[in-house]
Amino acid sequence: MISREELGQVLRDWRAGDKDPLTVWQWAEQAREVTRESGGAADELVRDVVDCLAVLPFDMIVVEDAEVMLDALANPLDETDLSINMLWNHLDGIPTDGRRHDLVDHPFYGQFCDGME
């Protein structure tokens, strides 16, 4: 089961530079399999954050977005609906095209920028 603590540690490691985006993405893809096969997410917020990280390069999720995810995970369980809403509001507001333009030369994200220059 993927817990809030485990997910939070992955995000903190990414934020600290101990994990790169590729490592986070690969972890999330594996974690998503666990959550889908066995219902192995601690709660709906964990499931949603894992799902977001599993498409990290396609949706241009960057380390700065980890802060919002960590804030959401820090909320009490009885505020899970509010946390999910906060997460999706943030993600819906990401200027994906702008990020694609800014990250076109990034060693990881650049390959997902669809030839933008």
Of all residues in the chain, what percent carry a pLDDT higher than 70? 96
pLDDT tens digit string along 34-63? Answer: 877 667 778 999 999 999 999 999 999 999
Count of domains forming the chain: 1
As a whole number, mean pLDDT of residues 70-77 equals 96
Q: What is the pLDDT of residue 114?
A: 77
Tokens matching residue 17: 């530079």
Supply the pLDDT for residue 36. 76
- Tell me what the mean pLDDT of segment 27-34 comes to: 92
Label residues 23-40 b or e (16+ Cβ within 10 Å = b): ebbebbeebbeebeeeeb
The answer as to whether 102 is a domain residue is: yes
Q: How far apart are CA 39 and CA 27, in angstroms?
A: 17
User: Residue 7: which of 36, 38, 40 has the closest Cα?
Assistant: 40
Q: What is the residue range of 89's domain?
A: 4-112
- Does any domain span residue 117? no
